[in-house]
Structure formats: C-alpha cells, structure tokens
Structure 1
C-alpha cells in the first residue's frame, strides 16, 4: 500500500502538486489520469522517489520514504518495478539480456539462477521464443511485454507504469492492460498506472485518481466514474461521443 498525504511539489515559481492525499491499495490497479499539465507525471515521479515533495509525505506499507536512512531508501527503491512510456529497452541487448539487467544490478544470483528467473517471467508475459531477439526485431506490443517482464523480474512490491499503452493499437493495448492487471493480482503488487487511455480506465480502473491543475479533483472506481456529477471529470472522460453513449447506457441500465 502507498499512502500520499498532503503532497506539495514546486519547481521554481511553479506549484505543480497542491496538497494531494490518496491511498493506492495492494493487489489493485490504481490509475492516475488527467490532462497534460495536470501534475500526473510529477506525482508519479514523486511516488517513485525521483522528486522530493516540499510538504507532505509518501509512505510505503507504513514506512515514510523521507524518514528512512539513505541505505534503506535504496533498498526500498529496489522493490519498485517501472514500465516506461517508450519501453526504454536497451537496443544493443537481446530480450533476455534486457530482462536480466536488473538481476545483475541488484541481486547476488548465479548466472543459472538469473537465467531461470528470466525464463520464468518471459513465459509469464507469453514471450517464450524471443530470448535472443533484439528490440528492433519485435513488435511494439512485444516490447511492452519485455518491459513488464523486466519490471517484475526482481519480484517488486510496487509496480509503476507510465503510459504503458502509448503507441499501441486498441487490441494490443487491451492485452497489455489485462496482463498488468493479472500480474498485479497474482503477485499482490501495489500497481500505479499513469494513463490518458480511457479504455484502460473502463477496463482495469479499480481505483482512479483524477488530477486537475495540481489538485486531486476526484477519485473513485471505474463504476463510480459513470455516476459522478463532477463536471471536470465528465468533461475529461466523456469528451468523445463514444463514452457519452457508454455512460448513458450505463445509467439507463441502472435506472
């Protein structure tokens, strides 16, 4: 579980995060949504420990990050897995080498043990024959699955995903969404996803935090988002005619 309490973050005269408080629960897919400039990327990087809030606190299973000694902060960061927007794979490394990289950096496993773990996670993301291929030789969807495998290879307690569906077609995006959700539940990870993809919201949004101008404007589930009267949320989520129709159908079914 990750708890943010009254988090403020500024850069110079720009006050980006303005007192955000929320809870991201273990074993659930927690989504951060909002327009460009809403603060969601800064919030995600603050959760990762890359940015330090000027006010407020962020705690991980009861441990406040800023209260930890440097060595304990480093150990905590090792329990975090990250899926970057562009996958961020090393072009000069094979799929197997990319996934093995965190094990070489942060574990004392033997080569055989690392190979066994890499085989396991690649099989878990349904990539059984891609070990010796390079990123340029596989599709965008396969690259995302490699990125997920790399993020979970060290058995993280916390998984962060920055726009994991960016650049993917709708069908592949749905596969990635479902894979992240399955892994979250299977390993009881606290997963936080930064996204603008409304399909992800409707498919896997067990907890949704909507940011606007640095404030937490709304939070709830994918079911509650259909019922909210918050104008900022409805304007953002239902900007397309498709989602307006989906919401109307949802409300009519429950009338």
Structure 2
C-alpha cells in the first residue's frame, strides 16, 4: 500500500501539486488520469522518489520515505518496477539482457539464477522464444511486454506504469491492460498507472484518481465514475459521444 498525504510540489514560481492525498492498495490497478498539465507525471515521479515533495508525506507499507536513510531509500527503489511510456529498452541489448538488467543492478544472484528468473518472467508475458531478439526486431506490443517483464523481474512490491498503452493499437492495448491487471493480482503488487486511455479506465480502473490543475478533483472506481456529477470528470471522461452513450446506458440499466 502507498499512502500519499497532502503533498505539494513546485518548480520555481510554478506550483504543480497542490495538497494531494490518496491511498493505493495492494493487488489493485490504481489509475491516475487527467489532462496534460494536470500534474500526473510529477505526481508519479514523486511516488518513484525521483522528486521530493516540498510538503507532505509518502508512506510505503508503513515506511515514511522522508524518514529513510540513503541505504533504505536504495532498498526501497529496488522494490519498485517501472514501465516507461516508450518502453525505454536498451537498443544494444537483447531482450533477455534488457530484462536481466535490474537483477545485475540490485541483486547478487549468480548468472544461472538470473537466467532462470529471466526465463520465468519472459514466459509469464508470453515471450518464451524472444530471448535473443533485439528490441528493433520486436513489435510495439512485444516491446511493452518486455518492459513489463523487466519491471517485475526483481519481484517488486510496487509497479509504476507511465502511459503503458501509448502508441499501441486498441487490440494490443487491451492485451497489455489485461497483463498488467493479472500480474498485479497474482503477485499482490501495488500498481499505479498514469493513463489517458479511457478504455483502460473502464476496463481495469479499480481505483481512479483524477487530477486537475494539480488538485485531486475526484476519486472513485470504474463503476462509480459513471455515476458522478463532477463536472471536471464528466468533461474529461465523456468528451466523446461514445462515452456519453455508454454512461447513459449504464445509468438507465442501474436506475
């Protein structure tokens, strides 16, 4: 579980986060949504420890990040997995070498132990025969699955995903969504996902935090989002006629 308590973050005279509080539970897919400039990326970087909030606290399973020593912070970061928007694979490494990279950085495993672990996670993301391929030989969907395998190879407690469906076709995006949700449940990970993809929100948004202008404008689930009258949320979520029709159907069926 990650508990965020009243965090603020500014850069110069620009205040980006304005007192955000929320809780992200284990075993659930927690989505952070909002328009560009809403503070999502800064918020995610605060959760990752890349930015230090000016005020407020972030608590990871009872451990207040600001109270940790440098060694304890390093140990905590080793418990975090990250799926970057562009996958961020190393072009000069094979897929297997990319997935092994966190093990080389954070563990003292033997080579055979690392190879076994890489085999396991590549099998889990349905890439059992991709070890020797280079990233340039992989499709966008395959690259995302490699990125997920790399993110979970070190058995993280926390998984962070920045726009994991960016650049993918709708069918492949659903595959990635389902994979992230399955892994979250299987390994009881605290997963936080930045997303613009409303299909992801509706399919896997067990907890949704909506940011607007650096503030928490709304939070709920993919079930309650249909019922909200929050104008900021409805303007964002139902900007397309399709989602307006879906919302109307949902309200009619449950009224």
SS of structure 2 residue aligned to 1:141? helix
Supply the distance in 2 between the matched residues of 1:207 and 1:217 (Cα, whole angstroms). Answer: 14
CA shift digits 1:30-56 (9 cap, x unpaired):
000000000000000000000000100
Supply the distance in 1 between the matched residues of 2:114 and 2:56 (Cα, whole angstroms). Answer: 39
Equivalent residue number for residue 32 of structure 1? 32
SS of structure 2 residue aligned to 1:209? strand
User: 1:41 and 2:41 equivalent?
Assistant: yes
User: 1:179 and 2:179 equivalent?
Assistant: yes
Equivalent residue number for residue 78 of structure 1? 78
Equivalent residue number for residue 125 of structure 2? 125
Aligned length: 255
Equivalent residue number for residue 10 of structure 1? 10
Misfit runs of 4+, over 3 Å: none
Equivalent residue number for residue 66 of structure 1? 66
Supply the distance in 1 between the matched residues of 2:100 and 2:71 (Cα, whole angstroms). Answer: 23
Supply the distance in 1 between the matched residues of 2:186 and 2:4 (Cα, whole angstroms). Answer: 25
SS of structure 2 residue aligned to 1:56? strand
TM-score, length-scaled by structure 2: 1.00
Equivalent residue number for residue 23 of structure 2? 23
RMSD: 0.4
Equivalent residue number for residue 145 of structure 1? 145
TM-score, length-scaled by structure 1: 1.00
Equivalent residue number for residue 166 of structure 2? 166
Supply the distance in 2 between the matched residues of 1:41 and 1:8 (Cα, whole angstroms). Answer: 14
Gaps of 5+ in 2: none
